Structures are given as C-alpha cells and as structure tokens.
Structure 1
Amino acid sequence: MCPTIRDRLSRNARERLVGRQAELSQLRRALAEGAPAVIHLHGLSGVGKSAVLTAFAEEARGAGAAVLAVECGSIEPTERGVLKELGQSLGCAPRLDTVAAALAAGPTPLLLAFDAYEHFGLLDAWVRQRLVPALPERTLVLLASRLPPTAAWTEAPEWQGLFRAMPLGMLSVAEATALLERLEVPQDAAPRIIGFAAGHPLALALAARAAQSLSSDGAQPLEVVIPQLARRYLGDVTDAETREGLRAASIARRVSIGLLRALRPQSDPGALYDRLAALPFVTAMRDGLAMHEAVREALAAELHAADPELHRRYRQEAWRQLSREAQTAPAAELWRCTADLIHLMRNPVVREAFFPQGATHFAVEPARPGDGPAILAMASQHDGTAGAALMGTWLDAAPHAFFVARGPDRAVEGFYCLLDAAEAAAGTLRADPVTARFLRDISERPLDGNQTALLLRRWMGRAEGEGRSAVQAACWLDIKRHYMERRPQLRRVYMALADLGPYAAAASTLGIVPLPDPVAIGNHRMQAAMLDMGPGSVDGWLFRLAARELGIAMQDDLLDRAKRALRVDGQIVPLTRREFDVMAYLVGRQGEAVPRDGLIHDVWGLRFDAGSNVVDAVVASLRRKLGSRAGAIETVRGFGYVYRAGADGRPGAEA
C-alpha cells in the first residue's frame, strides 16, 4: 500500500513524544485486546496527557482503527451537549441510541477519546452508567484528566477488569535530557534546566525558551517552577503589544477576537489574535484560543499582584463582552459564555457553589430500587418519623427524583430529591406540606410562558444531615447539572431546610430568599426558600452575580430582587409581578434596545397583537414608581425600550 500523509502524521506524533512508551504500550494492548474498556489517564497540568492522547490517536488511525476525539472543555457538560457533539461528528441524530448505532455500524476497533475530562465532572455518572455501556464492544474509551477517577470507577464490581487508572508522572532525567536535545538546548544549559523543571514536560519546554536567563539555583518545587517559567517567558515576548495582550488574556478561559477587541481596544484584534496563537503554550480551539492552564493562572496571579486595578478592569471588560455575546448566542452555544463567566468569578461563595471542595470523593448517581432503605434511614435519623414518612411518599410517587452519593465502598452516604414543579403539582405529592408551600408560591407568582421551576425537596448526608460536608458538596455539584440542562427555561429553584441559619450568608449572596410561613413536619419545622433566577434563567443569574462581584452597576442600582421592589431615593417601592418581570428583563439587558415584541414574547410568554399597549402600560407604571429615576427607561422610537444604569432625566426620553 502506498504510504500517505497520515502515515507521516502518525510517525511524527510518536517521534515527538519523549518517554511515555510504557503508557503507549498499555494503550496499544488495550485497543488490540478489547480490555480494559476504559482507561483514565490523569496527571498534573502540563504533564503531557494531551500529548499522549494525540500520539496514541494518530497511531491508532495509522493502524486502521476508527478514532473519535472529544475536547471536553469546548462543549456543554450536559447529556445534550455530548450527544450533539457526537451526533455532529457521526452525522446522526443527537440521541444515545442513534449515536450508539452509528458507532456500531463503523469500523472497529474504535477509540473514543475525551481530552480535558475534568470539565465533565457533572457528567461522570452519566458517562459511566449510560454512555459507555451503550458503546460497541470493541471500543476503548480514553479519558484524559487532571483529576484522578472517582471511586465509582475503581470500586464498583461491574467495572473490575474493565477499567484502569493510568497516572502520568514526571519524565526521568534521561527522558528530560532527550526532550531538551530535541528542543536544541545547549548541552551546558541542560543540567540546570533539568534540576529546575523537576521532570515536568511543560516546565522543560518553557525553560528551553528561557534557557539563557535561568538562574543556577538548585531544584525547586513544581508549584514554584511553572509560575517562574511563565513569567520568564512573558519577559521574552519582545513585542510590547503582544506581551500586554497576553497579560490581558490571562484573565479569560478562552480568547476570541471579540474579547481582545474589548480588552485591548487600541490594538488590531485580528493581528493580536494571530500573534497570541503563535505562542508555544497557546492552542487554537474551535471557539478561540486556549492558554495552557498553568501559564494562564501564573500570569493572572502576577497581574493581580502587580496591578490589581488593571486586573479588575480587564475582568470588567470581559464581563461586558460576554454579556453582549450572550444576548445573541444561540442556545446551543450559550454554554461557552456561561463557562467563560464562571471562570471570571472569584467570589468564594459562588465558586464553592460550582466547584465545591471534596466533591470528587463521592459518586452521585440516580438512586436504585435497593437504595430506599438507606434513604429512609437517613431521613428518620435527621427529620424524625414524620419526615421519613414524607420521604417514603416521594419514593413511592417519584423514585426518579432521588439521587444518591456513594462513597468508595459504594455505600449510600447521602441523597437529594429533585423534581420539576409541574410534575409534583400533577400528582399525589401535593399532600406533602413542604411541596404544598412551594406550589402555593408558584400559584401566587405564576411562571410565564415556558418557564419552569425545580423543587429541591430535601438533601442530606448520613452523618451530618443537611450540614456542610463533602457529601453535600458532591450533591450540590450534581444539582448544578440539572440547572444547566434546564436552561434557558429554568426560572426558579425551591428548597427546604430545617435550619437556614448556617447558610444565610451564602444564600443572600446567591439570591436565595426565605419564604414566609415555615412548615411543621411532626416535631420539626422546615423553612422553605426560593431562588428566582429571573427571565435570563441560569445565565442571567450568573451574570448578575459576576456583575456584583466586579462592581458593575446592573440590577443592584434600582432593582431589589429579594424584595421584588425598586430602590428609589432610599425608599423601597413595591412592584406588581408584571412590573417586576419587565424591569428585571430590561435591567438584565442594560444598554441594549429591547423590542416591544421581545418583551411580549419573553415576559408574557404570548404573541399578542402588535398593536397591543400592554407593554406601554406597564412601562408607564414603572416610570411613575421610578420617580426621579424614570429616565432610566428610555423609549426607542418605533422599536421598544432601553435601560441605562444610573441614568436620570425625564420620562420617555428618546434614544
């Protein structure tokens, strides 16, 4: 057979990979023999996981295997996002059955590789329980991640012999020497670099660039090496504009031309984008440029230490750019803006809500029929007989609402119960007084259009109950998966606690407010609470949290969401439900001209006659209540309205 360019690519990928022959040999054997079915390659940032994955994928293609690679950081971490990605690659409908059928109809063996799998923390149980079991038998699934596998992979009996964890360590001295020779580092500089980089591939590669400026100090800890090398490389970027663009870009998860235009308006964004793309630690992805995590974090930390005000201003401009992008992004692309936004936030309460400590020690998955006794035992221990009886009612009526956290021994260490409000309202669960309290609030403040609400009926750990614990962190992380899957329709989340006190500060930060009238359950009392995310759903809620953290005037200027009122001249001015919804919609899109038809469709959830004055009537009422701040809502003649934070002036000012 005539050699092809593919053969050369495969050979080049293997030859440029220094060391890792033992790992490649194990991968080669697994693909050929069909066991194990899943290999989890894990190690520190910059240790070479992606390089191993790429080299093996090229080798597998060269050997005639089918290869399908997924970049986890570039897609929405939901079942919908993964199936859409696989469906597009395979040319089939984005459903698990059609994806599995398309893979089964293709050539074998098959390598399905997930790079940066740590981004799929929300999906790990689904990948383990649903996706992988549906794949053709001659499939090797390769997961490359910074994090080690969860206990559910390593301890579950059904995965024994079919799963293998493969840690990726540092290069040996001989391998590091070979890498530096390939990078054409002078022999007299190599010993200093090898001692300095401690066998870390990224550190070695960066040190090769900075070889002439390295000090003669002895070996240093890896955590110190990478930031030092990142700063040294920044110093070696001789072009001042590229260097400043690199510093600005370090605050972002991904770099787009639009973001560079916002951060560095004095620069040519296209040219700057190309110069950044040429840097050795920057990778061009389909949605922008990705700076290596270790380098990015080091540069961002240095910027924050050297010029905290500039660091803050870059984050503010990034927020504004993401806000603009989110207004026009199709639903399928909205996750990228959301992920970028979460990366911008540093508030410890918000970060703990989305990146809780200790969550990876427990596997959260749908409850099985045999888990009922453990759930009821926990409910009885912490909520008493009456509380356990209600959990029994839920188990009978909606077993699919229960999710459990399993420890390393697969025992149930905690659970949560979550259900769509519409499903709870249609069944026997209305007899539960806590559920009834949730539904009463929805009745008093109905949801509009296709908006939905989630009822988080209960969560608890075996030892701590509803108290803070690693079990609770794992459950809350999985709950965020439900948030993402239900956006942009999800409007509210209701929850109940025996004691809101320990969570009061965090609840206030996140916008969670208690509902009046606590509910009695036997000898216990439950406090119902509610998070109203607003018309913008999960993304609008996150943008408000980020704006507050960054000191950007948004809804906090006039709109008090907790009180569902305006704050005008030091006074609280109550709003009707419709006034609040219209004001929240405009505030969430400050500076943007909003069409009347858009308000009618998105707030009312209906398509009224275009001549209807229902919007004008509500806006007129809002302006009366705004008083001296009435000019904050401007009329755009023949189109609609625009909200301008901090604006004053006469009502109905034309824009």
Structure 2
Amino acid sequence: MTRTISDRISENAARTFVGREAELAVLRSAVLDPDRVVALVHGPGGIGKTRLLRAVLGELPVDTAVTVLDGRDVEPTPEGVLRALERALGTPDVVTALGTAPRHVLAIDTYEVLGLADTWTRTTFLPMLPTSVFTVLVGRDRPASAWHTAPGWAGSVVELCVGPLPPGPARELLRARGLDEAEARRADDFAHGHPLALELAAATSRGRPGAATSPATAGGPVPGGLLDCFVDGLSPEATTALEAASTTRWVTEPLLAAVLDRGDHEARAAYDGLRRLPFVDATTDGLVLHDVVRDTVGHDLAVRDPERRRRYRRRAASFLAGRPPSRDDLWQRTADLMFLIENPVVRDACFPSARPTHVVEPARREDATAIAEIALAHEPAPVAEALARWWASHPETFAVARDPDGAVAAFVQIAELGTVDPDLLGSDPVARPWLEHLRENPPAPEERVLLMRRWLGRESGELRSPAVSACWLDVKRTYMQWRPRLRRLYSTVVDLPRLGPIFLPLGFAPAGPGVGIEGTTYQPVWLDFGPQSVDGWLARLVDTDLDVAPPDDGCDATDDCSLSPREREVLALLADGLSNRDIGARLYVSEKTAGRHVSNIFTKLEVHTRAQAARLAAERGWL
C-alpha cells in the first residue's frame, strides 16, 4: 500500500503529541467500556481538546467505526444534527448506520455552539441509539448538570476537564517544536502551559529568537500579551488581514476582498498570507481562525479602532446579503449573519458568551404543579386559569428551565397557530388581541405563525433572570427549526419600561391596545420576520447594530461628546460602583461587551482605573 503525505503528517502529529497521559487513559477507558455511553470533554479554547480527541481516535481497535462532526458546520437543531449525520454516514437511516459496527464512536467537536440542541441530544437522540455507540462531546463549557442528575444517566457518563500542561510536558512539546532548553523555559514561563499559547510561543521564538522574554499575566484562558507578541511580528498587511478576518465567522477570498475593500490580486495575497498562519485552519468552506485568536484580535481591534471594525462588519454584512445562499448552505448564511450581531439576546443562540446556568427541556407531566404555582404567584387569577387550560389542552407546548437540582425555575409556552384549539384561543383574554390582529393582517397560507403565550420565572416573573434568559434562548431554537417559512411571532408583555429595551431593538411592535385584567395591563406585541423569514430579520438586526451615530462635533474639553451615548450610560453606571457583570445586566448586554465599553472609556478619557474615570466624570459635571 502506497504511503501518502497525509500518513506522514498524521505520524508526525502523533510523535509530537506530549503529555496528557492521565486524560488519554480516562478517555480511552471510557470509549472501550461497554457500560459507558457518553464522554463530556471540556476546557478553555486552545487547551488541546481536539488533539486529545484525535489521539484517542487514532489508537482505537481496527473494528471500531468513527464518525466525527464539527459543531461549527452543524445547524443547532435536531434536524440540523440529523442532516449532518446523514451526510457523514451516507444514508438517511442514521440509527441503523451507527449500529452496524461492534463499537461506533460518534464525536462532536466544538459542541458548545450546539447548545440549542443539547437537551434534545440528551433526552431524545442518544437514548434511541444502540448500546454499541459511544458518543464524545467536546466543547469549551462545562456540561449541564442534567447530564449527571437526570434519571438514568448515573454511571453512563464520563466527564473530563482538560487543563494546562504541567511544566515537564509543556517544555517537551516546545523542544519537539525545535526550541532549545533556554528558549523552552522562557516560552513556558510566558505561556503557563496553555497548549495554543505554547505553539504560538514556539513559532515566535523560531522566527525571532528571544522574543518571548517577559512572563505573561496568568489567570486567563490564554496568557495575556502572547498573542500581541506574535501579531507584532507580522507585516502590517498581514496584521490588517488578520484583524479583518477576526470580524467574520470564516473568510473566503471574495469575502476577504469585500471586507478589506481590495482588488482580487491584493485579496489573494492577503488570503494566502492568512492561510500560512499557525492558528488558521483551511476548510472546504474557507479559512477559520482559531476562536481564541479571533476573539482576542477582534476585542483588541474593537478597543483600538471601533470605527474600522464597524466598517469591516458592515462590508461583510453587505457581501453576505448580496449572495443569496442555496438550500444546502442556508444554515451557513444564518450563522454568518448571527456572528455579526452583537446583541447577546440573539447572538448567544449560536455563539454563547457563557453556558446557561439552567437546562431547558420539554415539560413533563409531573411539572404541572410547579408551573401552576409560578403562574399563580405572578398572574391575576383569570390569567393563571387560562394558562391552566393551555396546559390541559396543549401540555406539549410548555418547556421548563431547571435549576441544577432539577427543580422548575421558569417556564415558557410556545405553539404554532395552526395547532392550537381555536376555542381555547378565543376564551383566553391575553390571546384574543392576537386573533384580532391576524384577522386584520392575515398571513399568507404558506407562512407559519408562532404564539409565545407566556414565560415566567419562579422568582422574577416575566423579568429577566438566568432561568428566564435560558427560556428565551430556547425559543431561538424554534426560530432556527422553522425557517425559512416562519413569518411572525406573537407574545405579550406587562412591564414595558423594563422589557422594552430588550424587545424593541429586536423588532417587536404593539399588536393592538393593551388588555386590562384585574389591574394588570397585558400589551400584545408581534414580531414580523419579513418575507425572508429569520435570515431577513437577522440581516435587519445587523444593519441596526451597525447604524451607530457618530458623536457630535464642536465640543470643548469639558464635554463628554467623545463618548458614544452607550459609553455615557456605562460611565454613569461605572461611577455608581457597578461591576462589568452588573453593567451588562442593567443594559442587557453581555459582560464581555460591557468590558469593551469600559476599555473604550479608559482609552478616550486617558485614564487607567475605574476610580479615575468616575472622578473625571464628576469633575466635568457629566454625572
């Protein structure tokens, strides 16, 4: 049999894979244990999870079948996962195909982006597979507690947390990359055992011996300063291309040309330069930056030059909007648009900033009491009674968010218009305004309409909380499943002053006058996704997200007009002593976005601490 270059590359990779003996042993043992059915491998980005997975898969017995999916290429819905498996296995009969081998290992990498499908994977998909199938789910986030606490899973799940390499294996890796002992020691002092950081340190030291001489700040997922050190060694053209690529989910040569606003020849040179970087993967769809590098470079660009980053994102959105996708790559275009959106209520559906603290799953019969108690605690009696009728007629439309201990912390109810009993709708005082709006504005026969009858948290009612946010996130799963025919969503809101800043930017509008019920006013609202369904809605959100007015001109040194309106809000909250997390919660943005605003404020005001920023704002009368 003729050896290929691929064979040699695989052997070289295996020889230079060092350390991880304990992790290898745990995962290897789990894969071969007939009593185990799933391994949950998690750790920070760049920590070496994928290489660990490949090392284990590469040493399996010859009669073991292997199927590997990359979560980045999979639509985060049950249908999307099954379609990806159909393509990988070459047959629509996924369950039978997975059960043909004595042992079949199904591995899903980058699993964190499939969070919307996690409950379905645990409660529906894996239970229907043959016992010969072993599943490995590899992602950044620690898995939901339900994987361990849900009935029946105890003893079937192995959890493996992957951390930094100890000094011995870390320096062995660096020596395998061609560094001498002194260089390896300096690089490891800089990288703190983080594998991606070690690789970048090795590349930096080979190109510029002695470059990594100062220890980086420990404590983050990637040692601070190392990526800056590496990027500083690139040419200005390569750095610009890298910054442009950090604003998109992936890049092709035409997309890079559009984002950089360059001709074909310059774009080709920039694309080829990116492809040679050690943290860039070449896929069949284009080039993908390692997510840690992409996030770090993108954050740095947002702080240093937010207007240039905005131009890049605007050009990317224009390029994507001008290239309608085929049915086969419809999900890719949806994900590309969602990546450009910074509103966490939408973006976290596919690119989560943190794992939800609550698991959302279909309500079970035994949840009836908890749902009724939550409704009675927050709703007038007639509304709670209407919800009870919904439960009696359509319990399948309810989903619950569970605490780590399994208790119901919130619920959401969502149904398709055509599946609901018309008499039930007509008798529900909260739903009647929707029917009137539909009679006045009838949808086309092929357009689907969702009714999000109510969501309520045990402690927060309809207001935002971790449990309620998890329910909202799960609703996005329904959006994804129903595109491209989903046209409208109807719901109702009571506390408009608090929820308006969340829902109005998403496109929600009143669907008639409010309905008063025992002193509580229920405002009917609707969201028109438009003729292009969810993708058209996302494109509009991108346009809105990027349509930021520049600061006013003509101000003197005592004015705060160098700050954007949002930065002024952040500065006021910062001066009140709020943390980035609290600022994010108050303004309905992620903690990461709040931190970026704080960094921008520091840069514009030329201060270094929160106290200095607050003092300067007070002295100039901005508060």
Alignment-derived partner of residue 556 in structure 1: none
Once residues 91 and 351 of structure 1 are traced to their aligned partners in structure 2, the CA distance between those partners, rounded to angstroms, is 32
| Selected match of 1:101 from 92, 96, 99 | 96
Alignment match, 2:537:
541
Tell me which residue corresponds to 2:14. 14
Matched, 1:221 2:254: no
Distance 1:356 1:86 in 2: 23
Contact 1:452–1:489 (Cα < 8 Å) also in 2: yes
Of 200-209 and 427-436, the range deviating more from structure 2: 427-436
Q: Alignment partner of 1:481: what SS?
A: helix
- Measured after TM superposition, the shift of residue 242 of structure 1 is 3.2
- Give the residue type in structure 2 aligned to 1:208: A
Instruction: Quote the offset at 1:32 in angstroms.
Output: 1.7
1:348 CA displacement: 5.4
What do residues 554-574 of structure 1 show as CA deviations (whole Å, max 9, x unaligned)? Answer: xxxxxxxxxxxxxxxxxxxxx
Q: Is residue 119 from structure 1 mapped to residue 113 from structure 2 by the alignment? A: yes
Amino acid at match of 1:408: P
5+ residue gaps, structure 1: 554-655
**Distance apart, 1:155 and its partner CA:** 1.7
2:608 aligns with: none
Letter in structure 1 aligned against 2:113:
H
User: Cα distance 1:428–1:215, how it changes in 2: closer, same or farther (>3 A)?
Assistant: closer
Q: Which residues in structure 2 correspond to 1:437-586 (within 5 Å)?
A: 437-522=433-518, 524-551=520-547
Partner of 1:290: 288
Residues 525 and 550 of structure 1, relative CA distance in 2, 3 Å threshold: closer
SS in 2 for 1:434: coil
Residue 424 of structure 1: how far off its partner (Å): 2.2
Range moving further from structure 2, 443-452 or 426-435: 426-435
Does 1:419 pair with 2:415? yes
Secondary structure, aligned partner of 1:338: helix
Aligned partner (choices 223, 234, 238) of residue 237 of structure 1? 234
| Residue matched to 2:202 | 208
The one-letter amino acid paired with 1:462 is: R
CA distance in 2 between counterparts of 1:161 and 1:122 reads: 25
Question: 1:256 — aligned with what?
Answer: 252
Q: Structure 2 matches for 1:113-192, cutoff 5 A?
A: 113-192=107-186
| Alpha-carbon distance in structure 2 between the residues aligned to 1:356 and 1:427 | 40
SS state at 1:216 partner: coil
| 8 Å CA contact 1:397, 1:429 repeated in 2 | no
1:539 Cα offset (Å):
1.1
Deviation at 1:455, TM superposition (A): 0.3
8 Å Cα contact 2:216/2:226 also seen in 1: no
Cα pair distance change 1:7/1:159, threshold 3 Å: farther
* Preserved CA contact (<8 Å) 1:452 1:490: yes
Q: CA deviation at 1:523?
A: 5.2
Shift of 1:69: 0.3
TM-score by length of 1: 0.79
Cα 1:496/1:486, change in 2 over 3 Å: same
Post-superposition CA distance 1:319-361 (Å, at most 9, x none): 1111112x2x123412212222222222456546876777621
Q: Residues of 1 paired with 2:396 and 2:426: CA distance?
A: 17
- Compared CA separation, residues 124 and 160, structure 1 to 2 (3 A): same
Q: Aligned residue for 1:388?
A: 384
Question: CA distance change for structure 1 residues 9 and 214 in 2, over 3 Å: closer, same or farther?
Answer: closer
What's the counterpart of residue 628 of structure 1? none
Structure 1 residue 266 and structure 2 residue 263: aligned? yes
In structure 2, distance between residues paired with 1:331 and 1:67: 28
SS of 1:541 mapped into structure 2? helix
Give SS of 1:548's match.
Answer: helix
Equivalent pair of 1:357/1:473 in contact (CA under 8 Å): no
- Aligned counterparts of 2:446 and 2:417: Cα–Cα separation in 1: 13
The CA distance in 2 between the partners of 1:267 and 1:237, in whole Å, is 22
Counterparts in 2 of 1:405 and 1:117: CA distance versus 1, 3 Å: same
Larger Rg: 1
Query: What is aligned with 2:602?
Result: none
In the alignment, the residues of structure 2 paired with residue 38 and residue 116 of structure 1 have an alpha-carbon distance, to the nearest angstrom, of 16
Contact kept in structure 1, 2:437 and 2:512, CA below 8 Å: no
1:548 CA drift (Å): 1.7
Alignment of 1:600-611 (within 5 A): none
Q: State the 1:451 CA deviation.
A: 1.0
Provide the rounded CA distance (Å) in 2 between the counterparts of 1:224 and 1:464.
33
RMSD over equivalenced CA pairs, Å: 2.3
Q: Secondary structure at the match of 2:143?
A: coil
TM-score with structure 2 setting the length: 0.82
Q: Shift of the alpha carbon at 1:507?
A: 2.0
Tell me by how many angstroms 1:296 deviates: 1.1
Distance of 1:64 and 1:284 partners within structure 2: 30
Per the alignment, do residues 288 and 552 of structure 1 end up closer, same or farther by CA in structure 2, a change over 3 Å counting? farther
CA positional deviation for 1:35: 3.2
For residues 493-519 of structure 1, the C-alpha deviation after alignment (integer angstroms, 9 at most, x for no partner) is: 111123222111222211111222222
Specify whether residues 293 and 356 from structure 1 end up closer, same or farther in structure 2 by C-alpha distance, changes over 3 A only.
closer
Question: Which moves more between the two structures, 280-289 or 13-22?
Answer: 13-22
Question: How many residues of Structure 1 are paired with residues of Structure 2 in the alignment?
Answer: 543
Please say if residues 281 and 291 of structure 1, whose CA atoms lie closer than 8 Å, have aligned partners that are also in contact. Answer: yes
Structure 1 position 89 matched with structure 2 position 88: yes
3-state SS, counterpart of residue 40 of structure 1:
strand
- The equivalent residue for 1:79 is 78
Query: Aligned partners of 2:79, 2:95: CA distance in 1, in Å?
Result: 15
**Structure 2 vs 1, CA of residues 461 and 394 (structure 1 numbering), >3 Å: closer, same or farther?**
same
Q: Do the aligned partners of residues 14 and 157 (structure 1) sit closer, same or farther apart at CA in structure 2, a change above 3 Å counting?
A: farther
Query: Following TM superposition, by how much is the alpha carbon of 1:522 offset from its aligned partner in structure 2, in angstroms?
Result: 4.8
In the superposition, relative to structure 1, how do residues 358 and 276 fare at CA in structure 2: closer, same or farther (>3 Å)?
closer
The percent of aligned pairs where both chains have the same amino acid is: 38
CA 233–9 in structure 1, closer or farther in 2 if over 3 Å, else same: closer
Q: 1:131 and 1:4 mapped to 2: Cα distance?
A: 38
Per-residue deviation, residues 158-178 of structure 1 (Å, max 9, x unmatched): 110011211001100001110
Relative to structure 1, is the Cα distance of residues 374 and 144 closer, same or farther in structure 2, using a 3 angstrom cutoff?
same
Deviation at 1:135, TM superposition (A): 1.3
Distance, in Å, in 2 between the alignment partners of 1:38 and 1:352 is 25
Q: What corresponds to 1:310 in structure 2?
A: 308
Q: Which residue of 1 aligns with 2:579?
A: none
Amino acid at match of 1:190: A
1:571 corresponding residue in structure 2: none
TM-superposition CA deviations, 1:383-416 (whole Å, max 9, x none) = 1332221111111111110001111111111110
- Contact in 1 for aligned 2:77/2:480 (Cα 8 Å): yes
Report the Cα distance in structure 2 between the residues aligned to 1:12 and 1:87, rounded to whole angstroms: 32
Q: Distance in 1 between matches of 2:315 and 2:210?
A: 34
Question: CA separation of 1:266/1:230 partners in 2, compared to 1, >3 Å: closer, same or farther?
Answer: farther
Deviation at 1:215, TM superposition (A): 4.8
